Amino acid sequence: MKIVAGVKTVAEAETMLRLGADELYGGLAAVPNHRLPAQSFSSVDEIVTVIKMAARRGRRFSLLLNQPSFGDRFARSVALVKRLDAEGLGACIVRELAMLDALSRAGLKARLTASSLALCYNLPSMRRLKEMGATRVVLPFHMAPDEARRLIANPFGMETEVFFHADFCCANVDPVCRLWNLTHRDQTCRFSYTGPDGRWRMPEANAAEKMRSVYRFHHSGAGYLKIIRMNDFRDEMEVLKFSRLLTALLEKGTGEADFVRMGERLYSTVSRHAWIKR
């Protein structure tokens, strides 16, 4: 699987390319892209710089347009894509069908990717996205490999991209946590709560299950492994290095049991997982 890394500054993009990311993606703070402004590029010029930087290395940068926009904002988003397309933009990651339709009619050189937030769960949905111009689908965040197998082996020639569950495993449909936005307190999904039957905690896959997920996505034929943009870029660098070690094991043909065992051991060395009790 090729590694797709989220970035939010020119320096981050340069670092991720140097560390071996196969593709980059990011958003512009002024354009809705399902993240806070601090997790996006602050200017169009920065994105142009990253587009050209990636192209010089034979890599692709994708622009995020994966949040609804209306009226003048919709028109400005389309105009932005056309401007960046002239600079060599690799792809757009799109959520709304109206935006996908508008961009497919714009005669772009850039490819179109259906965001995970387009919520493609079945082959009829994937076929419709293909008819509207998409060439890749990012599968919904919480789909397990067995659930995704038919989509990955689709008959439409659609590329598939999956999230790197080895990094995190949010039990919600999307990793943007509205509870955190309301409370500004750590990760509320990891708190325990009092219920009728005692203490309760939102379930999360353990490290071995996350490794098994990566292994099975790879062997199902998923082509791209997606690493999200993180507030602390040091964490993201560690995760990219970790993902490269895992993909190297997969390319060597490591069996599932050995892959899970070695991956689980490596997982505990990533600093963002220091809270894990082993």
What CATH number is attached to the domain comprising 258?
3.20.20.70
Contact 41, 12 (CB under 8 A): no
Q: Is 14 exposed, middle or buried (0-12, 13-18, 19+ CB in 10 A)?
A: middle
DSSP state, residue 28: B
Establish if 181 belongs to a structural domain. Answer: yes
How many domains are there within the chain?
2
| pLDDT (0 to 100) of residue 276 | 47
Last residue of a domain, one of 157, 189, 204: 204
Query: Is residue 236 included in any domain, yes or no?
Result: yes
- One domain for residues 156 and 251: yes
Burial 17-41, CB ≥16 within 10 A → b, else e = beeebbbbbbbbbbbbbbbeeebbb
Identify the H or E element spanning 236. Answer: helix 233-251
- Please give the pLDDT value at position 196: 87
In a domain, 200, yes or no: yes
On whether both 19 and 104 belong to a single domain, the answer is yes
pLDDT tens-place string over residues 101-125: 999 999 999 999 999 999 999 999 9
The model's pLDDT over 158-185, given as tens digits with 9 standing for 90+, comes to 999 999 977 666 656 565 565 555 555 5
Residues 67 and 162 in one domain: yes
Residues 262 and 177 placed together within one structural domain of the fold = no
Instruction: Please state, in angstroms and rounded to a whole number, the distance separating the CA atoms of residues 76 and 119.
Output: 25
Residues 123 and 182 in one domain: no
CA 217-17-213 angle, 5° bins: 15
Long-range own/partner contacts, residues 188-193 (CB < 8 A, 24 or more apart): none
Enter the tokens of residue 55: 């192209």
Rounded Cα–Cα distance for residues 29 and 41 (Å): 6
Question: Do 107 and 197 fall into the same domain?
Answer: no
pLDDT digits (tens, 9 = 90+) for 218-239: 999 999 999 988 888 998 999 9
Q: Is residue 278 domain-resident?
A: no
E strand spans, the chain: 2-6, 23-26, 60-65, 91-94, 111-114, 136-138, 159-163, 192-195, 198-201, 224-227
pLDDT in 10s for each residue of the chain, 278 residues: 999 999 999 999 999 999 999 999 999 999 988 887 888 999 999 999 999 999 999 999 999 999 888 999 999 999 999 999 999 999 999 999 999 999 999 999 999 999 999 999 999 999 999 999 999 999 998 889 999 999 999 999 999 999 997 766 665 656 556 555 555 556 666 677 888 888 887 777 889 999 999 999 999 999 999 998 888 899 899 999 999 999 999 999 999 999 999 999 998 887 665 544 44
Please report whether residue 46 resides in a domain. Answer: yes
Whether residues 86 and 134 share a domain: the answer is: yes
* Residue 107 forms part of a structural domain: yes
* Residues spanned by the domain of 164: 2-169+207-273
Q: Are residues 228 and 177 in the same domain?
A: no
Whole-angstrom CA distances from 172 to 65, 169, 204 are 21, 9, 10
SS3 46: helix
If asked whether residues 44 and 165 sit together in one domain, one would say yes
